[in-house]
Amino acid sequence: MLIPHPLLGPRDAGEFTYLGDARLLERPDGLGPDAPAAFHDYVYLRDNIAGVQRELWFHEQGDRSWLVVTRDTLTHEILKAELARDVVLARKEAGK
Amino acid sequence: MRFSGFRVFKEAVTGHKGWKPLWRNPEPKPAYDIVIVGGGGHGLATAYYLAKVFGQARVALLERGWLGSGNVGRNTTIIRSNYLLPGNQPFYEFSMTLWEGLEQDFNLNAMVSQRGILNLIHTDAQRDAYRRRGNAMILSGADAVLLNRDQVWAMAPFLNFDNARFPIKGGLLQPRAGTARHDGVAWGFARGADLAGVDIIQNCEVTGFRIEEGRVKGVETSRGYIGAGKVGVAVAGSSSRVMSKAGMRLPIESHGLQAFVTEGLKPTIPGVITFGAGHFYVSQSDKGGLVFGGDIETYKSYAQRGGLPVLEDVVEGGMALMPMIGRARLLRAWGGVADMSMDGSPIIDRTPVDGLYFNGGWSYGGFKATPASGYCFAHLLATDTPHETAKAMRLDRFERGYVIDEKGVGASPNLH
């Protein structure tokens, strides 16, 4: 499986470490009133989608960047790869 | 129709005209007391024990495809009870005792063969860990023997004892462990359940749950609505997909797991041998093929097939452990979808929806659990109380902080 790294081009998936659903970027507020429930949800529960999902891959044997990869979990087809940093910054921009 | 040696002889001399299908193919009724979703090993075992042990007369089992088309037909057939933690080990030992009487119980030859499982030891730390595990096994009523290097040599002289990185220093043996014929297990439970009155309905996909005021009333299926007093879901591999129809998110991620078999060889391997340090385990089937496997895929997948990097990793482990395996030709490789839970241990529990029960999260170790999983799930469905050995396998244990993490790697489903 090749992951189209936005800076380095196509790289073998073996260079990456897999973390899981890209929703893990949305870390809940640890001081919020519902923090225990929110962190149970964040740490343990997953949508576990059969189909297209966005997920976090770490280029551990490469440039050590985190990517958000859009992938079909039924066919392993990779549709898109972005730097996780760009995804988070874009979300912050939109939130402003 | 009962199977016996006499029956086989009689059919042989009368032209095999008396054999009948092992189970009926009934039309679904409008409603049942209990509906089981999933016709794999665990669903079939649940239906079997519900009807046979817990006296439930109106039970249906719904299967999307054909019986045993999922993980019960895709595993490496190993049965064992060599776990460590008190939340797990008594349950797996209960399963082992059920395996020992299973064929007589459901009157079908499932080729249960207690040829032993040997976990290899390479370091002093690993010996200490296995001594502790062996003691935990013995405390639960299971059997365990700690072997030194010479005793392992006597059992399996073909192993590479002097590997520079992982020299073999001993092993933990469970003599009562072994293998069983996985398809035979599914057929035995299906036939037994059918004979006890369970309606087994194939090609019937559950498309939704009818839930009113927090209570399940029945299931919508591709063959129409079926009412149910209680619904038990046992669809490991697809748990998240099915339970999302009831609005639930689970502590589960689906990962591919591969297995491999070589061409048939003369009897070579005395039992099951595991090389945990090298991510490789192997046994030999009754047909002679070496059956082996290793780690799960590192990334999430529903594809029921594996990738080449894991194949490479597994055969490297095999070559390191027993170099002679390099002379065998690989015949087949296949994959299934494992319900990897967040602590690597299963879930048998009620859900927040009244009347809806869940059995899943078997990670890559569901086959050995098949009889006890069915028995304990049937116990829960019939009596609304957990079986004594499955009390810790709760759905809410993650929220309460009572995880059963055998490997101690935390909420990383691809590492369990």
B151: domain CATH number?
A: 3.30.9.10
Instruction: Find, in chain A, the residue whose alpha carbon is nearest to that of B240.
Output: A48
Cβ A14–B300 below 8 Å, yes or no?
A: no
Say which residue the tokens 């879901």 belong to: B233
Q: How many separate domains does chain A show?
A: 1
Cβ B251–A46 below 8 Å, yes or no?
A: yes
Q: What is the pLDDT of residues B185-205, one digit of tens each?
A: 999 999 999 999 999 999 999
Mean pLDDT of the B95-119 span:
97
What separation in angstroms does the CA of B107 have from each of B2, B6, B20, B22, B158?
Answer: 7, 14, 15, 12, 37
B121 domain-assigned:
yes
Q: Is the pLDDT of residue A20 over 90?
A: yes
Chain A closest-CA separation from residue B311 CA (Å): 13
Mean pLDDT of the B284-305 span:
94
C-alpha B258/C-alpha B272 separation (Å) is: 17
Q: Which of B80, B97, B76, B78 is nearest to B144 (CA)?
A: B80
Coil vs helix vs strand at A94: helix
Say which residue the tokens 């070496």 belong to: B290
Q: What's the domain range around A69?
A: 2-95
User: In this structure, what DSSP letter does residue B304 have?
Assistant: S
**What is the sign, positive or negative, of the torsion defined by CA atoms of A52, A54, A56, A59?**
positive
B33 domain-assigned:
no
A26: domain CATH number?
A: 3.30.2270.10
DSSP E strand boundaries for B278-322: 280-284, 289-300
Per DSSP, chain B holds a count of helices (H) and strands (E) of: 10, 18
Chain A closest-CA separation from residue B360 CA (Å): 14
B332 domain-assigned:
yes
Provide the ipTM: 0.93
B126 domain-assigned:
yes
C-alpha A41/C-alpha A18 separation (Å) is: 19
B348 domain-assigned:
no
Q: How many CB atoms lie within 10 A of CB B229?
A: 17
Q: How many separate domains does chain B show?
A: 1
C-alpha A77/C-alpha A85 separation (Å) is: 23
B88 domain-assigned:
no
pLDDT for the residue A96: 65
Q: What is the pLDDT of residues B218-248, one digit of tens each?
A: 999 999 999 999 999 999 999 999 999 999 9
Say which residue the tokens 């590192």 belong to: B298
Q: Which of B184, B193, B197 is nearest to B234 (CA)?
A: B193
Q: What is the pLDDT of residues B167-181, one digit of tens each?
A: 999 999 999 999 999
User: In this structure, what DSSP letter does residue B390 have?
Assistant: G
B36 domain-assigned:
no
Q: Is the pLDDT of residue B2 over 90?
A: no
Mean pLDDT of the B64-74 span:
93
- Token pair for B50: 């519900």
Mutate to test the interface with B, among A19, A24, A39, A48 (most CBs of B within 10 A): A48
Q: Which of B233, B205, B260, B170 is nearest to B377 (CA)?
A: B233
B412 domain-assigned:
no
Q: Using CB atoms within 10 Å of the CB of residue B227, give its burial: 0 to 12 exposed, 13 to 18 middle, 19+ buried.
A: middle
Mean pLDDT of the B99-115 span:
96
Residues of A in contact with B254 (CB under 8 A): 48, 50, 73
Q: What's the domain range around B310?
A: 114-177+253-341
Cβ B309–A13 below 8 Å, yes or no?
A: yes
Residues of A in contact with B251 (CB under 8 A): 44-46
Coil vs helix vs strand at B381: helix
Mean pLDDT of the B274-284 span:
95
Q: How many CB atoms lie within 10 A of CB B105?
A: 17
C-alpha B224/C-alpha B204 separation (Å) is: 9
- Token pair for A27: 């870390």
- Token pair for A83: 């730097």
Coil vs helix vs strand at B249: coil
